């Protein structure tokens, strides 16, 4: 691990340095962030595939002092370069998916169109290849005793990472911050849609003991029924429920302690940025009114560590790209907190 004791974080960031202006490399950093520039199946707004580069740039224009965890940056955080082949594949398949989505939205039968059948097959094959690539990349890093976080891209991206964690760490629970349940099965015909990431994870990774979702405020009847029939494997704190409890006098601290009590000993955080208030992420792909403030979630995260539970990894996804970089600015600060938490939990 690199000795960062001589690095002065109060100076202007060197543009040649890595994430948060730190002079780190993959070899000497404790925590590696894998960027996954992929957004093939997004249903509404696009742009998330290019979020990692925007977040890297924004991270050079912020103070990295964290009063709660002031020394963790010295462990070294490193963002890998984006894989251009993955980005090019995403761009190509995204165009195929757009044509396909437009076709089926008009009620036409895919079986009647050879081109659309081919497009659907290619998108599904691409999703499977992406999952394999993410698995291989993260498994390799974990084998080197690195801590790993994933930066999307859309929310379909972390499936391979969760599989790698399951093989390496054993059973764990997922804390999902999201405006959506993401429990749809083959949404729009796509096997690995951003809208089905948690359905796929629960189906393919038996080591996931429990999924605890918070902030959900946009979901289908099918997803609600999935939760009801999960026999406690999925616990969802809908935003309406959280807000009503607060209006009746319950503090967010009390609610957060209950949420923590539902989590197993090992915890993975899956953070779709649309779980935040839209003022903090105006260009996310599928925005929904409502959402959390950052400090509410920081209190929850701190409570997880204070409870003795161990954070084993995280993903941050669905960050939009804008001309003024506001989305990237907020995401960079959130990413720093997640890095600090993961580092602190694995001292």
Question: pTM of the entire structure?
Answer: 0.96
The DSSP code for 43 is S
Beta-strand pair 234-238/31-36: unpaired
pLDDT at site 61: 94
pLDDT tens readout for residues 116-156: 999 999 999 999 999 999 999 999 999 999 999 999 999 99
The DSSP code for 60 is T
Token pair of 325 as six digits: 């970089």
Cα-based distances in Å from 74 to 29, 121, 305, 310, 347: 9, 46, 19, 20, 12
pLDDT tens readout for residues 209-222: 999 999 999 999 99
Q: How confident is the model at residue 331 (pLDDT cuts 50, 70, 90)?
A: very high
Is 281 strand, coil or helix? coil
Domains defined for the chain, CATH in brackets = 19-345 (3.40.800.10)
Token pair of 26 as six digits: 């993959």
pLDDT tens readout for residues 153-184: 999 999 999 999 999 999 999 999 999 999 99
Average pLDDT for the chain: 95
Q: How far apart are CA 82 and CA 11, in angstroms?
A: 27
Tell me which of 5-19, 67-81, 197-211 is least confident. 5-19
Cβ(300)–Cβ(260) below 8 Å: yes
Is 267 strand, coil or helix? strand
Q: How far apart are CA 250 and CA 260, in angstroms?
A: 16
Cα-based distances in Å from 316 to 149, 174, 188, 224: 8, 13, 23, 24
pLDDT at site 1: 58
Dihedral (CA of 14, 16, 19, 23) sign: negative
Q: How many residues are listed for the chain in this entry?
A: 347
Q: Read off the pLDDT of each residue in 290-295 and give the average, rounded to a whole number.
A: 98
pLDDT at site 111: 84
Token pair of 93 as six digits: 């398949």
Is 329 strand, coil or helix? helix
Q: Read off the pLDDT of each residue in 295-318 and give the average, rounded to a whole number.
A: 98
Q: How far apart are CA 284 and CA 332, in angstroms?
A: 14
Q: How far apart are CA 276 and CA 86, in angstroms?
A: 28
């Amino acid at each position: 691990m690199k000795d960062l004791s001589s690095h002065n974080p109060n100076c202007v960031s060197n543009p040649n340095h890595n994430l948060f202006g730190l002079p780190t490399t993959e070899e000497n950093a404790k925590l590696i962030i894998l960027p996954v520039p992929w957004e093939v199946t997004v249903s509404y707004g696009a742009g998330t595939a290019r979020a990692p580069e925007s977040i890297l740039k924004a991270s050079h224009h912020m103070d990295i002092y964290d009063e709660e965890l002031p020394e963790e940056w010295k462990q070294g955080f490193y963002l890998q370069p984006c894989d251009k082949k993955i980005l090019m594949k995403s761009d190509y398949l995204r165009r195929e998916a757009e044509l396909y989505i437009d076709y089926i939205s008009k009620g036409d039968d895919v079986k009647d169109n050879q081109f659309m059948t081919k497009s659907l097959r290619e998108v599904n094959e691409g999703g499977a290849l992406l999952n394999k690539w993410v698995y291989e990349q993260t498994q390799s890093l974990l084998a080197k005793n690195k801590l790993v976080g994933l930066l999307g891209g859309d929310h379909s991206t972390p499936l391979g990472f969760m599989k790698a964690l399951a093989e390496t760490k054993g059973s764990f629970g997922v804390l999902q911050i999201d405006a959506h349940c993401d429990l749809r099965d083959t949404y729009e015909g796509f096997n690995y849609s951003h809208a089905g990431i948690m359905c796929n994870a629960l189906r393919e990774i038996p080591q996931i003991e429990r999924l605890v979702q918070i902030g959900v405020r946009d979901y289908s009847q099918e997803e609600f029924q999935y939760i009801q029939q999960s026999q406690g494997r999925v616990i969802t704190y809908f935003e309406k429920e959280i807000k009503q409890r607060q209006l009746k006098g319950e503090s967010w601290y009390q609610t957060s302690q209950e949420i923590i009590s539902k989590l197993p000993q090992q915890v993975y955080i899956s953070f779709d940025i649309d779980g935040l208030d839209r003022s903090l992420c105006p260009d996310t792909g599928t925005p929904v009114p409502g959402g959390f403030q950052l400090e509410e979630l920081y209190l929850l995260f701190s409570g997880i560590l204070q409870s003795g539970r161990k954070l084993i990894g995280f993903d941050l996804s669905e960050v939009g790209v804008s001309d003024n970089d506001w989305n990237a600015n907020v995401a960079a600060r959130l990413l720093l907190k997640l890095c600090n938490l993961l580092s602190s939990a694995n001292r």
